[in-house]
Amino acid sequence: MARKGETPGEGKYRCMKCGLRIKLESNDNALENCSKCNYGEWAKIGTTTLEQLD
Ligand SMILES: [Zn+2]
């Protein structure tokens, strides 16, 4: 899990609260609050098969 302000690396993330998906384009990009629900914790998508729902 990664939080707002962290730079967990390039990749896709899913909001822990509402499920909105975002993408960090660069390892220098920091996570922000969710644009939909304003939550600030994210789960990385795609590193495990369980997260690959689409
Ligand atoms: Zn959200």
- pLDDT of res. 7: 97
- pLDDT tens string 2-52: 999 999 999 999 999 999 999 999 999 999 999 999 999 999 998 655 555
Q: Is the pLDDT of residue 54 over 70?
A: no
CA–CA–CA angle 19, 23, 27 (5° rounding)? 130
- pLDDT of res. 46: 81
22 to 19, 47: CA distances (angstroms)? 10, 15
Nearby residues for ligand 1 (ion, Cβ within 5 Å): 15, 17-18, 20, 34, 36-37, 39
| Span from the CA of 32 to the centroid of ligand 1 (angstroms) | 11
- pLDDT tens string 23-36: 999 999 999 999 99
Q: Is the pLDDT of residue 53 over 70?
A: no
